[in-house]
Amino acid sequence: MTQDAMIDEWYPVGLFSQLDMNGHRTALMGEPIDVALDAEGNAKVTSGDGHTLPVCVRYGHVWSSLGKPRKELFAIPEADQPGRRFVDVGVVRVRCSPLRAVENFLDIAHFPFVHTDILGAEPHTEVLDYKVEIRQDKDEVWATQVKFYQPQAAKSASGGITTEYMYRVPAPTCSVLYKTCPPRPGEWDVITLFVQPLAEDLCNVWPWMALFDDVTPMTDLIHFQQTIFLQDRSILENQIPRLLPLDPGMEIPTRADLTSVAYRRWLKRHNYIYGAQLVAQ
Amino acid sequence: MPARTPAGPIALWRSQSGRAAASADRCPHRGMRLSHGFVRGEALSCIYHGWSYARTGNCLRIPAHPGLTPPETIRVATQQVKESDGVIWVAVGEPAVEPPRLEGVVPLRSLTAHASVAAVEAATDALVWQAQTSRKIRLLLVPQEDDQTLIHVLVDDNSSPSERIAASRAAETLRRLAEDLQTKGIA
Amino acid sequence: MKLYDYVLSPSCYKVRLMAALTGVKLEIRPVDFHPGAEHRDPEFLALNPAGSIPILEDGVLILTESAAILAYLASKTAPEWLGSGAPEEVARIQQWLSFAHRLTSSLGGARLHEMLLRPGDIGALQAQGIAALRELEAGLVEQGLRGMRFLASDRPTVADIACFPYVALAPDGGIPLDPYPAIRLWSRAIRGLENFIEMPGIHRLHELKSEPNVEPGDA
């Protein structure tokens, strides 16, 4: 099942700051790989049969691929903006499809029920219309003008605010979220979800953030994001089927799910089907 | 709570007015298990997005769209539920008869064994019930997936608390024996 | 009182939960347990050579065992959480407090392995976890037959708080709670307590709130 278009994509395989010469054994799409530092201090990724795999180090993480990436890793221009703090949130393993993990990240309607009193709360459950498009120039899914009432939108937020979101899917298992930045109106906080597909129904999730927040201690920022993601984890491990259904009929979307609808269509069009289910079973 | 029938996993729930209901254990929106959900009034809601369903299976409410009356097509499959003598019975399809009466006994507890029904039955035969459990113990065995068995234990309705505790312990012994038989491949 | 805390640690959550239930205000000092392994730093080893959290600091008193911290919080502010003092109840509380260590090593070990990639024999950890859950289930069934809803008495004690977090989070380690109806009822009883707080992986009991009447445009 690895012979789909996803084989040539970049995937996160570790935090660069945690690499050492001993390295660690992990996996990519069912293949064992080793991630380590070489004698010059560069990241090195080796396949189970000893072949050197492509490597790049970006956004705090080591990225690799089992295939031949046809382009560089997607750009996050904000990551080069001065004044931002970069937060390595660390890995969390989830027994779910890597695509389900991304789809959940693109969803806001679950906030009042899963992230209660943090990212959402009843009675503020309504999802207002927003815009979704596939940007042809970069071939990315974008959702913009997503607005939602949040009791505690960020560690730096005090009290409830209506937060504005923009979502971007630049790669099949990665998403970048731009979010209202409480301490600096006019700027966007960047929160990402980088997903390493271990198998079709198992993934390592590496959240990462680039924030304007000079006040909050780093550990608090990490814990805030870990809290959010661990609230999602128990949902993700209990969805049936584990694989993401790409054909309509198996699951019922509403207007609030337009980002997910676009994401699924985009995956199907590109034959990004590792972790997907094509026929209703 | 989650349960299982030959027609698949179900979410078994009791509404505020006390009526038991059985819904398929999967929200048709995003596939989340409904047995993780919550009951308000006469509806079962999914924990993921709060979509709520009536006892009859139709979707009542989609919180993301408060103005929307959910179309009839959004529904979960349901199964018939009957409560009798303290036991909840779920029917797959249209039952021709009422559930059997269990007079003179009351339900004690339910436990899952990692053993087939055959192994549990073999263990029942092999087990010399202890003297303190001279009172009747009745078992209802329901096969589960992966060769597991759900054992519902019933005891005489006039047993004392200490006799009931002894019966509960006897059921644990029975399970150990059944699992032992299963492991050794005897049953 | 200062708690060295990790938001995803069930043992730290025991302390936060106990404090919330008894109305104790804690000063929280977050520890970067994952990914930073800050609890292994020299500063922390000086505080607790075992290299574990939670750590509770109250003046000169430093406590590093969660059961001791629960007992301390309870005796200071809400002694009813230590039970009535009846011999059988005292013994039951101690029994379950000791038992809680097995939950930590089995269910907690499986959770760390499955979630944060810590080393371990996952098959053995899960098997030990299931064995412990079965004991707890049987214990709760017997308590129910004695007319008691909680582990040592008809009201919650430190024993319930010591056992609850690792049990509630067992599914994080790939151990389903579906087969344990008595644990389910007990867990709901704890989650329904006044001033109960959650941790990630334990969802809000939304049924405790009535259905809001939401009109479009309210958001």
- Tokens at residue B104, please? 């003179």
Determine the pLDDT at residue B134: 59
Per DSSP, what are the bridge partners of residue A148? A163
Strand-pair category, C27-30 with C2-5: parallel
Same structural domain for residues A181 and A230? Answer: yes
Provide the 10 A C-beta neighbour count for residue A131.
12
Domain termination site, one of A39, A73, A107: A73
Q: What is the Cα–Cα distance from B99 to B91, expressed in whole angstroms?
A: 9
ipTM of the complex, rounded to two decimals? 0.93
- Contact of A149 with chain C, judged by CB distance below 8 Å, is answered with yes
The domain segmentation of chain B, as residue ranges, is 2-91, 105-184
How far apart, in Å, are the Cα atoms of B98 and each of B4, B81, B82? 20, 11, 8
- Could you give the CA distance from residue C111 to residue C122 in angstroms, rounded to a whole number? 9
DSSP 8-state assignment for residue B42: T
CA distance B176 to chain A (A): 29
Question: Residue B135 has what pLDDT?
Answer: 66
Query: What is the Cα A174 distance to its own chain's centre?
Result: 4
Pairing of strands A174-180, A188-199: antiparallel
Residue A261, chain B, CB below 8 Å: the answer is: no
Contact C96, C158 (CB under 8 A): no
CB nearest C35 (choices: A15, A228, A229):
A15
Predicted pLDDT at A124 = 93
**Host domain of residue A3:** 1-73
Q: How far away is chain A from the Cα of C156, in angstroms, using its nearest Cα?
A: 25
Domain ranges of chain C: 2-80, 83-191
Contacts of B65 in chain A (CB under 8 A): 126-127, 254-256
d(CA B117, CA B129): 19
pLDDT at B68: 94
CB atoms closer than 10 angstroms to residue A163: 22
What share of chain C in percent tops pLDDT 90?
Answer: 94
The pTM is what? 0.94
Q: Taking CB atoms and an 8 Å limit, are C178 and B39 in contact across chains?
A: no
User: Is A125's Cβ below 8 Å from some Cβ in C?
Assistant: yes
Region C11-24 average pLDDT: 98
Beta strand spans in B15-127 (E)? 20-24, 38-40, 43-45, 52-53, 59-61, 78-84, 87-91, 105-113
A20, A41, A73 - which closes a domain: A73
Statement: residue B82 has pLDDT above 70: yes
Residue window 57-116, chain B: list those with CB within 8 Å of chain A.
Answer: 62-66, 68, 74
Angstrom distance (rounded) from CA B132 to CA A122: 54
When the candidates are 3.30.450.40, 3.30.1490.20, 3.40.30.10, 3.20.20.60, the CATH number that belongs to C2-80 is 3.40.30.10
With an 8 Å Cβ cutoff, are A92 and C212 in contact?
A: no
CB contact under 8 A, B49 and A235: no
CA C168 from centroid of its chain's CA atoms = 8
A118 lies in the same domain as A230: yes
List chain A residues with CB under 8 Å of B63. 109, 112-113, 122, 125-126
| Closest chain A C-alpha to B25 CA, distance in angstroms | 9
Query: Per-residue pLDDT averaged across B67-84, rounded?
Result: 94
CA of C93 vs chain A CAs: smallest distance (Å)? 30
User: Contact B33/A125, CB-based, under 8 Å?
Assistant: no
Q: Which residues contact A261 (CB under 8 A, 6 or more apart)?
A: A132, A253
CATH number at residue A19: 2.20.25.680
Quickly state the pLDDT bin for B115 (edges 50, 70, 90).
very high
Substitution target from C16, C28, C34 for chain A, most A beta carbons within 10 A: C34
Residue numbers in C near A237 (CB within 8 A):
171
Residue B141: strand pairing partners:
B151
Q: What is the pLDDT of residue A2?
A: 42
CATH architecture of the domain with range C83-191? Up-down Bundle (1.20)
Considering the domain architecture, whether residues A54 and A193 belong to the same structural domain is answered as no
Domain boundary among A50, A73, A96: A73
B47, B51, B168, best to mutate vs chain C, most C CBs in 10 Å: B168
Domain count, chain A: 2
Q: Which residues of A are less than 8 Å from C35 in CB distance?
A: 15, 18, 88-91, 222
Strand partners, B8: B5
What are the CA-CA distances from residue C20 to residues B105, B142, C14, C200 (Å)? 43, 42, 10, 16
Let me know whether A39 and A116 are in one domain: no
Q: Cα dihedral angle (C59, C61, C63, C67), rounded to 10 degrees? A: -100
Q: Do A126 and C38 touch (CB under 8 A)?
A: no
What would the CATH number be for the domain defined by B105-184? 3.30.70.60
Q: Are A141 and A59 within one domain?
A: no
- Which chains neighbour B (Cβ–Cβ under 8 Å, 3 or more pairs)? A, C
B112: closest CA of chain A, how far (Å): 20
Mention every residue, 6+ apart, whose C-beta is less than 8 A from residue C154: C147, C148
pLDDT tens track for B140-187: 999 998 899 999 999 999 999 999 999 999 999 999 999 999 999 865
Q: Does position B119 have pLDDT exceeding 90, yes or no?
A: yes
- Give the H or E element holding residue C71: helix C66-77
The 3-state DSSP class for residue C185 equals helix
Q: Are residues A129 and A173 in the same domain?
A: yes
The pLDDT assigned to B131 comes to 46
The average pLDDT across C25-40 equals: 95
- Under CATH, what is the fold of the domain B2-91? Rieske Iron-sulfur Protein (2.102.10)
Closest of C177, C97, C185 to residue C148, by C-alpha = C185
Instruction: List the structure tokens of A92.
Output: 């969390």
Q: Which residues of A touch C217 (CB under 8 A)?
A: 126
User: Using omega within 30 degrees of 0 as the cis cutoff, is the peptide bond preceding C49 cis?
Assistant: no
Residue of A nearest to B70 (CA): A254
Q: Does A89 touch chain C (CB under 8 A)?
A: yes
Cβ contact, residue pair B38, C138, below 8 Å: no
Residues of A in contact with B64 (CB under 8 A): 109, 125-127, 254-256
* Phi and psi torsions of A170, nearest 5°: -90, -10
Q: Is the pLDDT of residue B128 over 70?
A: no
**Which residue matches tokens 């029920």?**
A113
Alpha carbon distance B94, C114 (integer Å): 43
Please identify among residues 88-107 of chain C the ones whose CB lies closer than 8 Å to any CB of chain B: none
Residues A255 and A161 in one domain: yes
- In chain B, what residues touch A255 (CB-CB under 8 Å)? 64-65
Tell me which chain B residue has its CA closest to the CA of residue C176: B2
* Among C145, C169, C215, the residue to mutate for chain B (most B Cβ within 10 A): C145
- B38, B30, B29: which is closest to B11 by C-alpha? B38
Report the DSSP beta bridge partners of residue A64.
Answer: A11, A55
Going through A54-186 in order, the beta strands assigned E by DSSP cover 55-58, 61-64, 85-88, 92-94, 131-135, 140-150, 161-171, 174-180
CA-CA distance, C104 to A121, in Å (whole number)? 32
pLDDT digits (tens, 9 = 90+) for B150-163: 999 999 999 999 99
Tokens 């005489």 -> residue: B156
How far is C12 from C166, CA to CA, in rounded Å? 11
CB contact under 8 A, B64 and A252: no
Residues A206 and A272 in one domain: yes
Residue A238 sits at the chain B interface (C-beta within 8 Å): yes
Residue of C134, C181, C203 lying closest to B110 (CB–CB): C181
- Which segments of chain A have a pLDDT < 50? 1-2
